[in-house]
Structure 1
Amino acid sequence: MFFMQFFWLKWKTTSCQVLKDVAQLLKDELPVYRQGRNFYFLKEKKNAKVIDLNHTSSLKSLHLGHVALLWNGSYLFGLMTFWQLKKLGIPCSVITAEEIKQGILEKHHLLLVPGGWSGPKSEALGEKGKKEIRKFVRQGGNYLGICGGAGLALSDTDGLGLLPIKRKKDRGIANFYGKIVLKQTTSHPLWEGIPNEAPFNVWWPALFEVQDKEAITILGTYSDISPEFFVADLNILDLKKYSKIQKWEEQYQVNIDPGILKNQPALLEGKYDQGKVVLTYPHLDTPDNPWEALALFNLYHSFFNKPFAIPTQPLKSYEEMPKYVLKLIKKLKMAMEEFFQFGQRNFLWYWYKPWMLRWRKGIRGFHYLTLYLLIKEINRYTHKKPVFVSPDLIIPHLETLVKIVLPFLEKAKSLLLKERYLLNTKPLSLISTDNKELNILRQELFGETPAYGGKFKQILCYADKILVPFLKAEANNIYSKPR
């Protein structure tokens, strides 16, 4: 019997390096085979063991593909997805709604839409952009939607209508987030190497309402909650152990019992004509969770049965950003850091992870966090050498951003203290209160929507104008294959 010598790496929950090594081997056009958590290849690699195999027919062959990542309306969650793709070594292009309208999806095989409210995504795409996505999937393209990206694909009024699913109008529970156990309901490449029940993160999702069960495959459902599961600003397992949930529901005037989530569909798959659609409310892009990283890696490879690359041209480089740019971004960064210290010393939030806050119910913690991380990323990119974005392109937008963010933060401090005072008397709603002065200030800063409105929407617009070119350049330089 003839044996071939292979090198062997086994994926472990403590590190994603093996998955990134696999991506690099594929980028170098070397064959890689897989079985469960084991990866086999012919090139010597650090920490790889030697193994003799007499055939590879029983092993799955992996291929390097290229992902189109839609940025609009994602912000914090767009960053999380981009970070996860980088961590896994998955090639991507950051694309915008305007580019979709112009037909950019014709070049692609997989569209990944990250989290973030689906309304702003739908608004950015307009009917023309949504029509282009439907055409892309109908003709054999694939769609992967995470949380808000899943919501965009639904058959609601502003959705794409890719699958016969709607958003449940009555979720039966207030905003929930953190780790919850997922239970696999069917065999699928998504689950390769993952236990039948494993903890995944959700970040304020809706719930699916399946309209046609015959057209949908439910891949996983919600099971038990974990010690890191919250509803509003309440740790549910702590309440169950030391208090009574009913009392807290009366105080907060919302439902917080997670029992309603048990066996609810969390991940779904279906077809839209020739294309495959996978929708997940659990965030497969959450940093630092090995099961989510492996699940995204698995899904990514399930979409590509042959190599798929996007050729690009080298970008013009600049030695460094002018000192004036660094001075502007430093002013923004310092203002944001002081603002977050203000919130902490007034007991309004605390850091849970470097990329996530926990905050009191009724304040816009998510919005402040989003702005902080966007500015932090802009700061990181402007300090890199060389840079691949023209200073002339970003200076006007950065100047405007400074002019609107600094007064915004001062007014936000005033708003936070007003909200802090009311929190001493009763639970606080995110949208409206019986305090007229508070409502006027909220409307000025954030509009009347839970999503992005008021001055904050304007701020995000300018942050996008600066950050997106940097994201595009990094994706181009790291992942794309030269001509």
Structure 2
Amino acid sequence: MANLFDPSEAQKTSPWTGPPVALLWDQSLVWGLVLVEALEAMAVPYRLVTASHIRAQGLKKHRVLMVPGGWASHKARALGADGLEQVRTFVQNGGGYVGFCGGAGLALAEASSLNLVPIHRKGLTQRLPNASGEVWIEGNPEHPLWKDLPPRIPVSIWWPSQFASDNGLGVEAVARYRGYGEDFWVADLCAADVTRCGARWQDWEKSYGINLNPALLDGQAAILCCRVGKGMAVLSYPHLELPDGWGRRLLANILNSLQNSCDPKAVEPSESLPAPPAPGTPFFCSAEHGSTSRTPLETLDEDGHDGIVPAPSVPALRALQEALEEAQSLIAFGERHLLWRWRRPWLLQWQRGIRGLEYGFLLVCLRFVVFHCGREKLQARASAPWDDLSQSLLEQTRLFCREARKLLLYEKVASHQGPVNKLQPVNAQVDALRETLFGRGMSHTGLSQHIFDTLDALVYCTLVRRRLGDAAPGNFWMERRAKPPAHRRA
């Protein structure tokens, strides 16, 4: 794959002539950071928007809204009923919507989602539920979004859902899955190794109790283009924003097409929309989405920090550095016990039956915040909102990491006694710790939700500060083993 794509070619796209794209930040974490890096590398101007901005009709200055990966249910929780309605109206009145993975799922016809398109998710028993890594997609050569691309290109997927169909009204398949690469995994199995050994997928499926055969993906829609009123939605389960394969060339086609086809005069707020919620009003949340309390990012906007974030303080950075040390220690603990390894500099590959995404994302997000805060000219005194957020995160991270070590050891012991499933009862110790740390569903709740809600606000503040400085685009996740620079005091 490396020989197929020259990274320097990513810059050879049509100059951007429209207004900045809007990037929904809430509940994006590492997926949001990856998209930020992609837009900067492609020289596409962007503005971070939060759910609060959207509820206050903050999309009307934009032509395109981009929604990174992450749990669709958490994004819906952040947007609330009013925010979901604002996004629907934006697209129906002529706006463009680009969603990756969870951002694509948010647009589907599901409970508490946007219902932008007449397409559902494929049921768990009908899809490949645990697929990740390199796949090949075959484009529709007649579709304008596939302009100047080879018939098939390599991209990456990371545990996506699948579209139940691609034949809804105004729906076109831009690309379909056509095979997989050397780094494609199903559960904890490297598909290429299984195939070379001549093993039968049905034998593995009987043992694992889930679908594993990559053939379930073949021919299925990977990317959809959907007409929504006067607007357009492009939904991609492949992560086109990642710097591997030809994804960014396709992403450039998508963005240029949308910004040229969207008429800013048509993107106007609807008179029938409800007024933005008054400060202090809890946002919409169903029981499956977890707590209905306001998130730190929500509070940040309410307190008037929109676009104006002061430099962090010395105490705040110290608290964040301590939290990073806790996360680093937890990851090292898992590595010592052979529970995971680094598959990418920003992504863990974990043992079947345990969680890994949450642990890895905690470290990567903290590393990003500490690295960039360490380059700031710090304030000697307390600095809102940094001090409250950083101290809260430190306390939450200490508790989380302490209990996570116990859980990981109990899960390791249980795995030697029989199969362990992360969503099924194991024993009293494992079940209690799992509920405390992650809740009962796959989309985390519990203590981890509080941690990621706090990190959401901290990474947002860091990005706002970073854009005020002289930060240059680059693969920030490659700084994994670099020590944060010594901080400077004002």
Report what 2:487 is aligned to: none
Instruction: Pick the aligned partner of 1:141 from 66, 91, 95.
Output: 95
| Cα separation, partners in 2 of 1:110 and 1:475, compared to 1, 3 Å | farther
Shift of residue 174 of structure 1? 2.9
Instruction: Pick the aligned partner of 1:426 from 418, 425, 429.
Output: 418
Determine if the alignment matches structure 1 residue 270 to structure 2 residue 222: no
CA distance in 2, matches of 1:63, 1:308: 13
CA distance in 2, matches of 1:213, 1:308: 24
CA distance in 2, matches of 1:239, 1:197: 24
Q: Is the 8 A contact 1:137 1:275 kept in 2?
A: yes
Shift of residue 205 of structure 1? 0.7
| Cα separation, partners in 2 of 1:186 and 1:159, compared to 1, 3 Å | farther
CA-to-aligned-CA distance 1:8-36 (integer Å, 9 cap, x gap): xxxx82224x544768xx5xxxxxxxxxx
Q: How does 1:351-362 map to 2 (within 5 A)?
A: 351-362=342-353
Shift of residue 240 of structure 1? 1.8
CA distance in 2, matches of 1:130, 1:321: 33
| Cα separation, partners in 2 of 1:306 and 1:145, compared to 1, 3 Å | closer
| Segments ≥4 residues shifted beyond 6 Å | 306-309, 314-318, 476-479
Secondary structure at 2:91's aligned position in 1? Answer: helix
Instruction: Pick the aligned partner of 2:37 from 83, 91, 112.
Output: 83
Q: Is the 8 A contact 2:95 2:262 kept in 1?
A: no
Shift of residue 90 of structure 1? 1.3
Q: How does 1:41-60 map to 2 (within 5 A)?
A: none
TM-score by length of 1: 0.82
Secondary structure at 2:164's aligned position in 1? Answer: strand
> Which residue identity is paired with 2:434?
R
| Cα separation, partners in 2 of 1:134 and 1:213, compared to 1, 3 Å | closer
Q: Is the 8 A contact 2:127 2:161 kept in 1?
A: no
Q: Is the 8 A contact 1:64 1:306 kept in 2?
A: no
Q: Is the 8 A contact 1:76 1:374 kept in 2?
A: yes
Q: Is the 8 A contact 2:225 2:233 kept in 1?
A: yes
- Overall identity of the aligned pairs, in %: 29
Q: Is the 8 A contact 1:14 1:290 kept in 2?
A: no
Secondary structure at 1:106's aligned position in 2? Answer: coil
Secondary structure at 1:167's aligned position in 2? Answer: coil
Shift of residue 96 of structure 1? 0.9
Shift of residue 475 of structure 1? 4.5
Report what 2:333 is aligned to: 342
Instruction: Pick the aligned partner of 1:227 from 166, 182, 191.
Output: 182
Instruction: Pick the aligned partner of 1:391 from 383, 397, 413.
Output: 383
Q: Is the 8 A contact 1:181 1:198 kept in 2?
A: yes
Report what 1:179 is aligned to: 134
Secondary structure at 2:182's aligned position in 1? Answer: strand
Which deviates the most, 203-212 or 86-95?
203-212
CA distance in 1, matches of 2:175, 2:358: 30
Q: How does 1:150-299 map to 2 (within 5 A)?
A: 150-169=104-123, 170-210=125-165, 212-242=167-197, 243-286=199-242, 288-299=243-254
Shift of residue 323 of structure 1? 2.9
CA distance in 2, matches of 1:278, 1:475: 27
Secondary structure at 1:304's aligned position in 2? Answer: helix
Report what 1:305 is aligned to: 260
Paired residues in the alignment total: 424
> Which residue identity is paired with 1:280?
S
CA distance in 2, matches of 1:181, 1:123: 33
Secondary structure at 1:151's aligned position in 2? Answer: helix
Report what 2:297 is aligned to: none
> Which residue identity is paired with 2:260?
N
Determine if the alignment matches structure 1 residue 107 to structure 2 residue 48: no
Shift of residue 162 of structure 1? 1.2
Secondary structure at 1:416's aligned position in 2? Answer: helix
Q: Is the 8 A contact 1:268 1:279 kept in 2?
A: yes
**Between Structure 1 and Structure 2, which shows a larger proportion of strand residues?**
1
Instruction: Pick the aligned partner of 1:382 from 370, 373, 384.
Output: 373
Where relative contact order (Cα < 8 A, 6+ residues apart) is larger, the structure is 2
Determine if the alignment matches structure 1 residue 462 to structure 2 residue 418: no
Report what 1:46 is aligned to: none
CA distance in 2, matches of 1:257, 1:274: 39
Instruction: Pick the aligned partner of 1:400 from 369, 372, 392.
Output: 392
Greater gyration radius: 1
Secondary structure at 1:228's aligned position in 2? Answer: strand
* Structure 2, unpaired ranges of 5+: 265-305, 472-490
| Cα separation, partners in 2 of 1:306 and 1:161, compared to 1, 3 Å | closer
Secondary structure at 1:69's aligned position in 2? Answer: strand
> Which residue identity is paired with 1:179?
E
> Which residue identity is paired with 1:472?
V
CA-to-aligned-CA distance 1:198-241 (integer Å, 9 cap, x gap): 11101111111237445211111001111111111111121122
Determine if the alignment matches structure 1 residue 366 to structure 2 residue 357: yes
Q: Is the 8 A contact 1:267 1:279 kept in 2?
A: yes
CA distance in 2, matches of 1:363, 1:352: 16
CA distance in 1, matches of 2:468, 2:146: 30
CA distance in 2, matches of 1:315, 1:130: 22
> Which residue identity is paired with 2:100?
I
> Which residue identity is paired with 1:406?
R
* Structure 1, unpaired ranges of 5+: 1-11, 27-61
CA distance in 1, matches of 2:203, 2:25: 42
Secondary structure at 1:448's aligned position in 2? Answer: coil
CA distance in 2, matches of 1:253, 1:306: 46
CA-to-aligned-CA distance 1:29-87 (integer Å, 9 cap, x gap): xxxxxxxxxxxxxxxxxxxxxxxxxxxxxxxxx63541100012222211211121122
Q: Is the 8 A contact 1:166 1:211 kept in 2?
A: no
Q: Is the 8 A contact 1:93 1:475 kept in 2?
A: no
Instruction: Pick the aligned partner of 2:434 from 418, 442, 448.
Output: 442
Which deviates the most, 395-404 or 181-190?
181-190
CA distance in 2, matches of 1:393, 1:22: 39
Which deviates the most, 178-187 or 210-219?
210-219
Secondary structure at 2:246's aligned position in 1? Answer: helix
CA distance in 2, matches of 1:123, 1:457: 12
Report what 2:51 is aligned to: 97
CA distance in 1, matches of 2:262, 2:200: 55
CA distance in 2, matches of 1:346, 1:194: 44
Which deviates the most, 293-302 or 405-414?
293-302
> Which residue identity is paired with 2:23?
L
CA distance in 2, matches of 1:231, 1:467: 31
Determine if the alignment matches structure 1 residue 330 to structure 2 residue 286: no
